[in-house]
Structure 1
């Protein structure tokens, strides 16, 4: 035993002085057939290859490089983008809605104003005056709406004007919205707000309407319509020197406030389905057969053409007849509404004699007429068949019958003398709007100036310096011709069909008209037009009542009767 230990130490000392052979350290498993490779304890490992260290280092450097590259991309290349996106998670641009401008009457009485919205601080609510007859004029707006995230739609970030003055003058009334930045926490709670652009409220708009006059005119229209069973109607009063519309009513009509809220679906649907069309602006878009009011303009054409002296009388026995080439024993008969006896031009206007205007319009026997070409010419001279340019949308041109018009609309039929007769008294295919009529009557009153009607206050007369009055045309007829026609209109009040307007407190000039409608001729439209004061005209008016009974004793003239009597008590300044 001692000998063996001594041998081991001897060998150990010898080994200090020589190199160690790897075979002496690591046993070759191939030389140990009985070595248990599955046994961990006591196992002698093989050396790790140098390539393993190289692979590991490459992997570490590769992963690190990728990480550094991505970090560089996030911080340097896209850092600003992600920083903005992060900020936007907490900061939001919010609209500050501008208040719409007020709409005022000519005396600064508010017709449309703003009030606090009890459900939202974002914008104010619109309030509309409740006076009858204003809705068609004022129109209404719809409010901005949000999406499911509470953000206002891009195309609905302002009030949506839908009709009337609100729509026509939306650019002035709208104003300019402001912007604020709202900071919120992760729960959506507002931390702070900063205004970056203040809103600019819309401009106030002063209309030409006098709310007192407007209200009474509308009430009178509704009263006569109710008493006489008319299905609709419209009326207007206009300054003959400026074109300002002082009052205008429309029946039936919708309610601006209900349309503004948009919550009363039952009421709104009833208006949509109403056969009397409450959404129709009868002043601008309604077209009517004018009837006898067209005799005023035919009379001016007759005087200008010189086909008859204004003092020459024509006998009205209640009708005239012309030979019928197809049935010689059955002449064509054209009726007057009554037998008037002998009438000259002034009295023919006053009593509205059909026979007189048949004769001077189309000619009869020895008396020459001006013919359909001239009837069309003078109607056009006074603005019929064209838009007036009023500051409103949806204006209709109407129709002036002519031989060409008949060919186009009646399968090429030729024009006959009876067509001229009927056109001369405002029947047949004549279609006019109320705004055209009041402008044309104003041109008679002011002796030849066609004004552009307006719902806004313009102030000064056309001839005054700095005036904003728009003149759309001049009708250059002899002033004496205008005088003769105006005398006939005044005679209509003192001795003719407008006798209801014969007052002791104001002199009115007027012309009535009745237009038969429908195939049965049992329904009529009732008209009255005119101006006042007679000797120094300031205002013109026109009223039409729709689809009343032909036997009705209540015509449009009674609407103006109520208005004049009211003005005499409450606003006598309008009668001077």
Structure 2
């Protein structure tokens, strides 16, 4: 009737089971929580931990905002300075010397913050066009080098820029955020430019310039040029052009008024007239025409023609209306030596184009011999942009004047005396006359000492060239070139006057030649540019002034004793 109660085992813990300590439970490892009762965490602890995490996160976000937003731009600029910098180590530009090892262009320290050297030039007149000038390395407005090299802008500085420049080096610099240098390391050393020695004699250069400048100013020419060459080696001892510019002023670039004056000068002081100036040669072509006529056996040394002051060619289309080609005066009977001495136009009309029964060279042979003597052909001298000149031909006339303008006999006559579109440069003129003086070798003129010399024969036997030399000697002694003659030098010369302008209102004046006449060592060519027609004082008196200086101050150049270098 009564159900039996099910036995339930008690699981309660008695108080004495709780009070355990290290003494009554020695077998438990309390460091491993053995023998301990786990106690639940109080509710305030998670809240405190959460608050701590929140605070840390807030601080992180605040610092991030401070660094990225508030101070971001400043810190970014600072961080850019905390880097490895590449610094340019500028190569020293090569030094330019004259033939006697006098410095013409060299380097001086830069007193500014930039580390490249500055160019210094010898302060002497007449050498600006030879040396030229440079442009320096430049930075942009942010301070970065947009051009890290020197740039030669004219003269030898330009044409030999690669040799003179060398190669810049690089230094690696470690800089901290405060711009303090931590370390420096050269990773490529600079290679300095090579030195260059010119063939120029500086004293002779200056003297030639002064003679040309004074001659041009006194006679009203706007400019001039001159060159002296060794007839055996092709070395240029003097090469000058008037007016000129200062290499120092142009390189420094600081004298804006002077530089502006150069650019506004109608005489064009930047033009190197020796190499780039193309001039109507006039009568200075007559020596080559004489040599060609002798070589072609059209005349003998004794063949004479009568100069009455003109040649008249009948006009088949208009009888009685003859074409008249004038001489500058009546010379009477003249042979080739005398024709060169007095510069007879009639003689050279006759041998150039023919007259009556006398056969002439004709324009094809005139042009061919001009090329043999280097006229109308670049010489290869070490300057950039050398002009070629012009030797008139039927093809040239058609190109310039149109197909309906055929070549006429009068064109041949005028070409025979260096007119009618004939253009040459002074460096061509000195090369040509040197080939007549040295026995018929056309040399490549050069201004760099030790340069390779190219040469070619002109193809005219020296027996004929000797006759031409004698005629030029006679011209310097008693003929039209006598104003160049100076006691103390046996001179040979040939003058030329070229008419300019639509109505021949202007003229150029030339003189070319060589010395000593009996054993030529040096050839020269001088041109004075554009004065009023009829001007009596020209290139020959200017050259005389130079020779007077040579006799007085450098007589070794006049007596065959070449100066020791």
TM-score (norm 2): 0.83
Alpha-carbon contact 2:226-2:426 (below 8 Å) kept: yes
Which one of 426, 429, 432 corresponds to residue 421 of structure 2? 429
Deviation, 1:188, is 2.4
Which one of 239, 245, 260 corresponds to residue 230 of structure 2? 239
Q: Which residue of 2 aligns with 1:105?
A: 98
Q: Which residue of 1 aligns with 2:453?
A: 470
Q: 1:548-559 to 2 correspondence within 5 Å? A: 548-559=531-542
Which one of 251, 256, 275 corresponds to residue 260 of structure 1? 251
Which one of 434, 439, 454 corresponds to residue 446 of structure 2? 454
Deviation, 1:127, is 0.8
RMSD: 2.1
Deviation, 1:279, is 1.5
Q: Which residue of 2 aligns with 1:78?
A: none
Which one of 538, 546, 549 corresponds to residue 563 of structure 1? 546
Q: 1:67-78 to 2 correspondence within 5 Å? A: none
Cα displacement string for residues 170-216 of structure 1 (whole angstroms, at most 9, x for unaligned residues): 22211222222233332324454333333222221100001000000
Does 2:430 correspond to 1:438? yes
Q: Which residue of 2 aligns with 1:177?
A: 168
Equivalent-residue separation in structure 1 for 2:215 and 2:233 (angstroms):
29
Does 2:351 correspond to 1:351? no
Deviation, 1:478, is 1.5
Deviation, 1:560, is 1.4
Q: Which residue of 1 aligns with 2:82?
A: 89
Q: Secondary structure at the match of 1:218?
A: helix
Does 2:176 correspond to 1:193? no
Q: Secondary structure at the match of 1:430?
A: coil
Deviation, 1:333, is 0.9
Structure 1 runs (4+) greater than 6 angstroms displaced: 85-88
Alpha-carbon contact 1:105-1:209 (below 8 Å) kept: yes
Q: Which residue of 2 aligns with 1:206?
A: 197
Alpha-carbon contact 2:391-2:423 (below 8 Å) kept: yes
Deviation, 1:327, is 2.5
Equivalent-residue separation in structure 1 for 2:491 and 2:353 (angstroms):
31
Q: Which residue of 1 aligns with 2:48?
A: none
Which one of 105, 122, 131 corresponds to residue 124 of structure 2? 131
Equivalent-residue separation in structure 2 for 1:405 and 1:146 (angstroms):
49
Q: Secondary structure at the match of 1:390?
A: coil
Equivalent-residue separation in structure 1 for 2:343 and 2:430 (angstroms):
19
Structure 1 gaps of 5+ residues are: 1-13, 20-59, 61-84, 459-467
Q: Secondary structure at the match of 1:283?
A: helix
Equivalent-residue separation in structure 1 for 2:343 and 2:8 (angstroms):
152
Equivalent-residue separation in structure 1 for 2:526 and 2:167 (angstroms):
40
Equivalent-residue separation in structure 1 for 2:484 and 2:244 (angstroms):
27
Equivalent-residue separation in structure 1 for 2:81 and 2:479 (angstroms):
79
Equivalent-residue separation in structure 1 for 2:537 and 2:180 (angstroms):
67
Does 2:497 correspond to 1:503? no
Alpha-carbon contact 2:82-2:178 (below 8 Å) kept: no
Equivalent-residue separation in structure 2 for 1:87 and 1:229 (angstroms):
64
Cα displacement string for residues 489-525 of structure 1 (whole angstroms, at most 9, x for unaligned residues): 0000111011123233110110000000111112100
Deviation, 1:385, is 2.2
Does 2:520 correspond to 1:529? no
Q: 520-529 or 197-206: which moved more?
A: 197-206
TM-score (norm 1): 0.81
Equivalent-residue separation in structure 2 for 1:475 and 1:488 (angstroms):
19
Deviation, 1:455, is 0.9
Equivalent-residue separation in structure 2 for 1:551 and 1:388 (angstroms):
32
